[in-house]
Amino acid sequence: MTALYQYWLNLPLVLQMAIKGLAVIGFMFPFGGACSLIERKISAWMQGRHGPNRAIPFWIAWVPIIGPLLQRLGVFHLMADGGKMFFKEDPIPGHVNKFYFVLAPIVAMIPALTTVSVVPFGAYIDAAGQLVPLILADVDVGLLALFAVSSLGVYALILAGWASNSKYPFLGGVRASAQLISYELSMSLSILPVFLWVNAPGGSGTLSLFAVVQAQSGPWHAWSGLWFIFTMPVAALIFLVSLFAETNRLPFDMAEGEADLVGGFHTEYGSLKWGLFFVAEYSHMLIGSGVFVLLFLGGWNPLPWLPLATFAGWLGLAGNPLVVGALSIVIFLSKVLFFVFLFMWVRWTVPRFRYDQVMKLGWQKLLPLAIGNLIVYALVIAWVQVKN
């Protein structure tokens, strides 16, 4: 493990950056396609339908048991969708502003592929017995960087709506900008109590997501072992609701709203450009779910009061960083995929809000609740610090 790490450090910085970038692209694009397939399967399951289960290549069809099983699972629909997205005719309507029309889906992908770099997705125990995060860019202002970059995603929706030179996409872009700005306030305020707790007075101060997980990694007899979802449930609820709104998922898909806006901001798009918007949406779902798990569900810790290091010690894996790292990734991704499933479950369960209801919920309900929650926890944390 040490030799492999040293070999990585000896690689040129440009090559390291290229490998990391290709790894992100190689994961995010297949993940977006897989989510599209899984969502159709989940919606079919919830509505008593079969879902995609027909496509199968001729060279697999003759394989007994395995071929029919993969066909019923709809695996080959993922291949068909990917091929169609890349090779389908991709016309550009004559009435659009062509430069910005093409630029919009590219702008949508940039925050989706960039924010993953500051999100730790696991950890391993080094030779000194210290927990080291698995992260592409270990920066101390990780959450600030994530919020700063992810907030740029709204420009893609605005740009797509405006460049389409059509009233329905334009209305979708306006709706998206108002909605995302509204819920960003509540989301930002909801996480402040977490960092007030993590950054004790006199400390160096950090916005690192790894530090938040470490603050939830205490032993059974300490408060630090309890996940923040139990100590700050209101903050977790506000963050989760705001996350639904920030990712434009039902019941907050005001930017699309096919019942009244045809297709919203992407009405004029098709083929690859249309697919890029939805890869970006699923990427934001993945990153948002990951941040929620890190902030409120202990990250890669399997249970409250059971840190990863203790769990690895019970299994006799403490001296094997590669296995511990793989175990932490499995635990973390299991929690994240549950929330991805929750996104899809809510989409096919809760009806879409009206636009005035979305604005009322954001400004008159969530924002005052987030401010009140922040004040209460600021007073509680100050009292705890004074008492200690």
pLDDT of 210 above 70 = yes
Give the count of domains, the chain: 1
Task: Flag whether 32 is in a domain.
Answer: no
- Supply the pLDDT for residue 259: 62
- Supply the pLDDT for residue 49: 87
Mean pLDDT across 235-250: 90
* Range of 273-282, 306-315, 319-328, 329-338 with top mean pLDDT: 329-338
Domain that residue 215 falls in:
93-387
What digits encode the pLDDT tens for the residues 142-171?
788 888 888 888 888 889 888 988 888 888
Task: Flag whether 260 is in a domain.
Answer: yes
pLDDT of 387 above 80 = no
* Range of 90-94, 150-154, 242-246 with top mean pLDDT: 242-246
Mean pLDDT across 124-135: 82
* Range of 203-212, 251-260, 276-285, 331-340 with top mean pLDDT: 331-340
Q: Is residue 334 very low, low, confident or very high in pLDDT (cuts 50, 70, 90)? A: very high
**pTM to 2 decimals?**
0.91
Q: What is the mean pLDDT of the chain?
A: 85
pLDDT of 237 above 90 = yes
What digits encode the pLDDT tens for the residues 106-124?
888 888 888 888 889 888 8
Task: Flag whether 57 is in a domain.
Answer: no
Contacts of 155 (CB under 8 A, 6+ apart): 107
Task: Flag whether 288 is in a domain.
Answer: yes
Mean pLDDT across 94-114: 88
Task: Flag whether 283 is in a domain.
Answer: yes
Place of tokens 């819920």: 183
Task: Flag whether 37 is in a domain.
Answer: no
Task: Flag whether 58 is in a domain.
Answer: no
What digits encode the pLDDT tens for the residues 1-53?
566 667 767 778 888 788 888 888 888 888 888 888 888 889 898 888 888 88
- Supply the pLDDT for residue 294: 93
pLDDT of 375 above 90 = yes
- Supply the pLDDT for residue 311: 87
- Supply the pLDDT for residue 374: 93
Q: Is residue 342 very low, low, confident or very high in pLDDT (cuts 50, 70, 90)? A: very high
Task: Flag whether 41 is in a domain.
Answer: no
More confident residue, 153 or 328: 328
